[in-house]
Structure 1
Amino acid sequence: MTQHVDVVVVGGGQAGLAAGYHLRRQGLDFTILDADPAPGGSWQHMWDSLHLFSPADHSSLPGRLMPTQPGEVYPDAGHVVEYLADYEKRYDLPVQHGTCVDAVRRDGGRLLVEADSGRWRARAVVSATGTWSRPFLPAVPGRDDFTGRQLHTVSYRRPADFAGQYVVVVGGGNSGAQIAADLALYGDVTVTWVTQRPPRFLPDDVDGRVLFDVATARRRALEEGRSDTGGVASLGDIVAVPPVRAARDAGLLRVRPMFSRLTATGIQWPDDSRSDADAIIWCTGFRPALSHLAPLGLRGSRGHVATAGTQAVGEPRLHLLGYGDWTGLASATLVGVGRTAREAVRQVTGLLR
């Protein structure tokens, strides 16, 4: 049976919930379809030691401040999961968990959303599936030859899983730095951190609050026709959260340039020397999870859907929310997605009415 609603939101993580909050305020008939069996979005899949970059009161969705976590300045991932679950319940958001959306198609004057548990005809769709379900692995020579363990950020949980091993962490962003530090501070893991370029640490007093302010100032400057300030990228790449600072200051973060290939037993460096490794952890980022939109034929040669703000250029009934700056400033963050969600829902409401 096909159900009829005003709006279907695909994805029940932070972006989907922010959209749901504003849809509720507009009085629209909507449903949120989420592949995860429980609330919390991608936060429920993070590694054990992960903490936010910002304090709780700067990590909130619209309408509800995140409560502080006792004993923590920067809340951990478990606290975020609890917050998102409470948020979903507090605003009575109609999230159907355990529902995987396979396709979104045009169906006359509506969009047809096909999922493993049914079909919905909607006047508009908000895609908020994020990137966590689509990890990126680079095509490094010899990757298939390596006989040790290979995993991506999405599968890392705790350093004890690598006790007594030689581990290579690949990636010069926040995930690479934090996982390398997590392993190095454990003490029973030999860690080599490999990056394409020397890691650039942000000043130690910079956290998510400063990053958001800097990004906002850059956007305002560009909108007003002033010169580009460079934004966050001008400051550095890695937030020096306490564990990263501790490992760095103790000299435990041993960084080497990118290796040339993997071998059966480890890695080969550009000078042809070799190092053994038991595991490679690829902290090499993600791509937008957009396969459900394939029937609409909107993706360009680089895989992105062309958008004006959050609205798909080739399908005005579709909005993309929370995938990064290309769908709204800081829209992939807890604190940033609310503003973008409000604007997306404003446009959806105008279209429907």
Structure 2
Amino acid sequence: MEHIDFAVIGGGQSGLATAHALLRRGLRPVVLEASDHAAGSWPHYYDSLTLFSPARYNSLPGMPFPGADRDRYPHRDEVVTYLTAYADRLDAEIRTGCRVTAVRRTGDGFTAELEGGRLSARAVVAASGTFGRPHRPALPGLQEFTGQVLHAADYRSPAPFSGRRVVVVRAGNSAVQIAAELAETAHVTLATRGPVKFAAQRILGRDLHFWTVRTGLDTAPLGRFLARPPAQPVLDDGRYRAALAAGRPDRRALFTGAVGPKLLWPDGQREEVDAIVLATGYRPDLPYLAPLHGTLDDEGTPRHREGLATAVPGLAFVGLEWQRSLSSNSLRGVGRDADRVARRLAAHLARR
């Protein structure tokens, strides 16, 4: 069996940032990426996805996000190109097509079981993100609904929905972006539990991220104090608020049930709907950690303190939402968390 020092599970932004942080300390990580491409989930997001933060705030450590216009909002494919270039420049061993199926404790270290083999590691960083585990909440009537149901993870473009009746569930950034795009060619409702909350994209001529960075909110260690992370408002330059005001899409309170292809609305109306798009977010995708007793709670959420597993020394996480701060699971913030985790893991191994 092969023996390594650091196994980094996941080759997206979190895994790449972690590898960079370990390399800076003279350590040699091995990045294990399940897909055939070191860009994480980005290639699989919907075609029109546009970041809500300017290019200047979307860099991983050691390599600025490219382009002359630092205030533009990059598209999905720009991020894929950037992460691919970052991986190519990184002096780390990145093994693609290498899916980890289980991690087990072995003495003072770990054994990672792969599809087709095993390896041992002194420390493990779980940086596999959330895209592989779309959250599908138990909405009223969803199981009885006979129309098409898909998660935003499966949505690519509005073309297949042209002229159809579509309901998009939730009031987050992706939900509003997808609903507004669909409404250009389809009859779309944004179904939410409450009103859509907006935040201005620009304040006093500056993007909102300028202010969160300048005030320190972006990096404030708030994660440890949040039993449940707050819902973030939709960042808007005015276009989405205007679209909702014009009824393209319209907004309604969440449906109360379903009968076959018809949804039941709170006002008693029954309406035939072709498709429901669940823009209901994701959960940490960490099934391979199940053999490590005490690492995950009953919902599969990791037990950690600022990225370090509380029950298993030598195990850490990078890229969790609100792992430490508002920006923990973003391009602009994951490097800070990765550096902190790498420093503490290196100290842990030095004591052994």
Q: TM-score, normalised by structure 2?
A: 0.90
Counterpart of 2:191 in structure 1 is 194
The answer to whether the 8 Å contact 1:321/1:328 transfers is no
Counterpart of 1:32 in structure 2 is 31
What is the Cα deviation at residue 119 of structure 1? 1.3
Are residues 212 and 303 of structure 1, via their aligned partners in 2, closer, same or farther at CA, if it must alter by over 3 Å? farther
Are residues 64 and 169 of structure 1, via their aligned partners in 2, closer, same or farther at CA, if it must alter by over 3 Å? same
Counterpart of 1:339 in structure 2 is 336
Residue 251 of structure 2 aligns to which amino acid in structure 1? V
The answer to whether the 8 Å contact 2:173/2:234 transfers is yes
The answer to whether the 8 Å contact 2:219/2:325 transfers is no
The answer to whether the 8 Å contact 2:164/2:187 transfers is yes
Are residues 208 and 130 of structure 1, via their aligned partners in 2, closer, same or farther at CA, if it must alter by over 3 Å? farther
The answer to whether the 8 Å contact 1:130/1:288 transfers is yes
Mapping of residues 188-227 of structure 1, within 5 Å: 188-205=185-202, 207=207, 209-210=209-210, 212-213=212-213, 216-217=216-217, 220=220
Counterpart of 1:48 in structure 2 is 47
Residue 308 of structure 2 aligns to which amino acid in structure 1? Q
The answer to whether the 8 Å contact 2:219/2:327 transfers is no
Mapping of residues 83-122 of structure 1, within 5 Å: 83-122=82-121
The answer to whether the 8 Å contact 2:287/2:300 transfers is no
Q: 1:103-146 deviations in whole A, cap 9, x for unaligned?
A: 11001121111111321211100000111110011112332322
Counting helix residues as a fraction of each chain, which structure ranks higher? 1
Are residues 114 and 208 of structure 1, via their aligned partners in 2, closer, same or farther at CA, if it must alter by over 3 Å? farther
SS at the partner of 2:123? strand
Counterpart of 1:348 in structure 2 is 345
SS at the partner of 1:340? helix
Task: Tell me, in whole angstroms, the C-alpha distance in 2 between the residues paired with 1:261 and 1:296.
Answer: 39
Task: Tell me, in whole angstroms, the C-alpha distance in 2 between the residues paired with 1:80 and 1:239.
Answer: 19
Task: Tell me, in whole angstroms, the C-alpha distance in 1 between the residues paired with 2:182 and 2:215.
Answer: 31
Q: 1:316-353 deviations in whole A, cap 9, x for unaligned?
A: 20001101113554211000001000000001111122
Counterpart of 2:240 in structure 1 is 244
Number of matched residues? 342
What is the Cα deviation at residue 246 of structure 1? 5.5
Are residues 351 and 244 of structure 1, via their aligned partners in 2, closer, same or farther at CA, if it must alter by over 3 Å? same
Residue 88 of structure 2 aligns to which amino acid in structure 1? K
The answer to whether the 8 Å contact 2:31/2:94 transfers is yes
Are residues 62 and 175 of structure 1, via their aligned partners in 2, closer, same or farther at CA, if it must alter by over 3 Å? same
Among 292, 300, 303, the residue aligned to 2:300: 303
Are residues 316 and 259 of structure 1, via their aligned partners in 2, closer, same or farther at CA, if it must alter by over 3 Å? same
Counterpart of 1:280 in structure 2 is 276
Are residues 169 and 303 of structure 1, via their aligned partners in 2, closer, same or farther at CA, if it must alter by over 3 Å? same
1:128 to 2:127 alignment: yes
What is the Cα deviation at residue 301 of structure 1? 3.7
Structure 1: gaps spanning 5 or more residues = none
Task: Tell me, in whole angstroms, the C-alpha distance in 2 between the residues paired with 1:328 and 1:166.
Answer: 39
1:315 to 2:315 alignment: no
**Aligned-residue CA RMSD in angstroms?**
2.5
What is the Cα deviation at residue 43 of structure 1? 0.8
The answer to whether the 8 Å contact 1:131/1:287 transfers is yes
The answer to whether the 8 Å contact 1:4/1:121 transfers is yes
What is the Cα deviation at residue 269 of structure 1? 1.2
Residue 89 of structure 1 aligns to which amino acid in structure 2? D
Structure 2: gaps spanning 5 or more residues = none
Among 251, 265, 271, the residue aligned to 2:267: 271
The answer to whether the 8 Å contact 1:320/1:327 transfers is no
SS at the partner of 1:299? coil
Are residues 249 and 59 of structure 1, via their aligned partners in 2, closer, same or farther at CA, if it must alter by over 3 Å? farther
Task: Tell me, in whole angstroms, the C-alpha distance in 1 between the residues paired with 2:274 and 2:217.
Answer: 45
1:182 to 2:186 alignment: no
Among 285, 288, 291, the residue aligned to 1:289: 285
Query: Hey, which bits of structure 1, 4+ residues long, moved more than 6 A?
Result: 69-72
SS at the partner of 2:190? strand
Task: Tell me, in whole angstroms, the C-alpha distance in 2 between the residues paired with 1:245 and 1:271.
Answer: 24
Counterpart of 2:251 in structure 1 is 255
1:64 to 2:63 alignment: yes
Task: Tell me, in whole angstroms, the C-alpha distance in 2 between the residues paired with 1:271 and 1:294.
Answer: 44
Are residues 242 and 182 of structure 1, via their aligned partners in 2, closer, same or farther at CA, if it must alter by over 3 Å? farther
Task: Tell me, in whole angstroms, the C-alpha distance in 2 between the residues paired with 1:95 and 1:251.
Answer: 47
Q: 1:171-221 deviations in whole A, cap 9, x for unaligned?
A: 11111111011111x2x2000110111000112416561474388338649
The answer to whether the 8 Å contact 2:222/2:326 transfers is no
What is the Cα deviation at residue 271 of structure 1? 3.2
